[in-house]
Structure 1
């Protein structure tokens, strides 16, 4: 059962509980992961004003550059005095965010934990929680590239290969898709079903784009193979190299190939490609995304490569796909 810290009541709106969420933006943080988490809260506020108060926090008073090169000036610098105003504190990392925690950040995270503040991490943000000793005994996730680093410093935590994880007062996500799902699932623990359905209706695009129906849920495979498939499903937008996949799964290339051949009658590379193509078809059918956005979302490097793979699998070009969006 996920437990949440009780929220404060906003004096400007008597009777309305307001949850105060702070996002710590680290250098080279993942802008897509951050915006997916933020958009979920902002959308909830459209339906019920002042449910959530959000602010961006920097380690100092300067600007922060995101992974996409966009420069952002956080609302304020993170300092101990802010902890008394927050219910949730989320550390936003990225692929190029350096795994080096300052003493000040570590102290602030420990102080937040002592106050009962819900702590979160996006992309490799969980590493900073683990470095502070705040993931011991918790289930958590991190981008596959940084799983070995987190496992090294948080030896008694349970680092999984899923896209997101919620465990009591810890919430973590390893990708933009995971950030969306993580935040939506967390809101479910705070508010009623009607609000959640309202958010999902407004973010219908986001639902189809980020909350995939994972084929592995219906596959009858061994735990080792399921682990590999989950890694694939969590990394469709930026497909992992085969060596990375083997390393993160803790298996050799030969072992992985044997698992796919014996249990699914295919190769690992073929299965990975099928997952991406099937996801692309769903995006074409159920969203209003342009073709270029779909192919990028599914990890294809060019329109010609995408069209060739799609045609080979379905027998017709992606431009001929039937749009089912209402």
Structure 2
């Protein structure tokens, strides 16, 4: 019997969709609607949508997404790409939505629209969280739905929102979450805004998994322990890079210690404080994670994968793999070529 091992937080996100060691919360699928206005920011829309689609990849059927336009017709994005909506918003049951996002853009006209204001007010009355991308917050403010709320909007439109929603606090942040209002001023802000919304209902584990897929580079330097506001220290980043580039022939801890001019004990303390694990355990997790990727996406044999990931024997590789994923490498699903 092989004892089941758990990945540390830093590596768990990379393997989130392959692990069955924790039961996901029993939540019904949440509806998210996007109202696409004329010349809406396509990058902001796709960043927000990508977070939801990736969430469904990791935890299937968590979110249902819908696109709307005010007249049910096609709409032109800011990049000149025409989008056909899924639904007619006027006849859509608003109580099926948990979040309704108004998608604006740099060239989206700031014109009051009675139909949109009415829909937004009805949504708020039904308990739907409201959101605005780029200058989408202006339409929330124009409907009187940002009173006493902090919000974010693209810098080009801050004066207009400050004039329209005089009782709101217009910030210079790239995104802002204030109770049931979610606003973002940029594509990257839209991504982080939706990640925060996802985390509030589905937990940090899912958010980490999404971030590791969509922001694999930036995720390395993000806060590792939000409760203590710890960021990955420069020596730790250097050691992790050494590990990632030396999987086939793993380095000794003492070798890496020499590179960063620290003692083994100092490195071990740093790993425990910032990653919640040991250097040896973290290194093993990187190798097992890479082995899964190679098994799924290459024609390498199990023995070749074991060698490529620094395992001394196929039996040792099989034991470690089974401990983390619950099944041996021979049972891994392999892509068709």
Is TM more than 0.5 here?
yes
SS at match of 2:202: coil
Structure 2 residue aligned with 1:149: 160
Report if aligned partners of 2:212, 2:219 keep a CA contact under 8 Å in 1.
no
Q: Deviations over 1:249-285 (max 9, x none)?
A: xxxxxxxxxxxxxxxxxxxxxxxxxxxxxxxxxxxx9
Structure 2 residue aligned with 1:316: none
Find 1:138's aligned residue among 149, 172, 182. Answer: 149
Structure 1 residue aligned with 2:106: 95
Structure 2 residue aligned with 1:111: 122
Distance in structure 1 (CA, Å) of the matches to 2:77 and 2:46: 11
1:174 equivalent to 2:192? Answer: no
Structure 2 residue aligned with 1:26: 37
Structure 2 residue aligned with 1:189: 200
Tell me which moved more, 198-207 or 97-106: 198-207
Distance in structure 1 (CA, Å) of the matches to 2:47 and 2:108: 18
C-alpha displacement of 1:80: 5.3
Find 2:59's aligned residue among 48, 59, 80. Answer: 48
Distance in structure 1 (CA, Å) of the matches to 2:218 and 2:50: 12
Structure 1 residues 197 and 205 mapped into 2: Cα distance closer, same or farther (>3 Å)? Answer: closer
Look at both structures and tell me which one has the larger radius of gyration over its CA atoms: 2
1:268-283 equivalences in 2 (<5 Å): none
Structure 2 residue aligned with 1:77: 88
Structure 2 residue aligned with 1:259: none
SS at match of 1:146: helix
Q: Whose relative contact order is higher, 1 or 2, with alpha carbons under 8 Å and at least 6 apart?
A: 2
1:62 equivalent to 2:70? Answer: no
C-alpha displacement of 1:207: 4.2
Distance in structure 1 (CA, Å) of the matches to 2:218 and 2:39: 26
Q: Deviations over 1:112-152 (max 9, x none)?
A: 11111000000000000000000000000100000000000
Distance in structure 2 (CA, Å) of the matches to 1:90 and 1:60: 16
Distance in structure 1 (CA, Å) of the matches to 2:97 and 2:105: 23
Distance in structure 1 (CA, Å) of the matches to 2:217 and 2:190: 11
Distance in structure 1 (CA, Å) of the matches to 2:123 and 2:82: 27
Report if aligned partners of 1:24, 1:89 keep a CA contact under 8 Å in 2.
yes
1:286-297 equivalences in 2 (<5 Å): none
**If the length of structure 2 is used for normalisation, what is the TM-score?**
0.57
**If the length of structure 1 is used for normalisation, what is the TM-score?**
0.59
Q: Deviations over 1:36-76 (max 9, x none)?
A: 00000110100111101001011012110000000011101
Report if aligned partners of 1:33, 1:176 keep a CA contact under 8 Å in 2.
yes
- Structure 1 gaps of 5+ residues are 1-13, 213-284, 286-325
1:124 equivalent to 2:139? Answer: no
Number of aligned positions between the proteins = 203
- Structure 2 gaps of 5+ residues are 1-24, 224-240, 242-289, 291-337
C-alpha displacement of 1:177: 1.1
Find 2:50's aligned residue among 29, 39, 43. Answer: 39
Structure 1 residues 194 and 112 mapped into 2: Cα distance closer, same or farther (>3 Å)? Answer: same
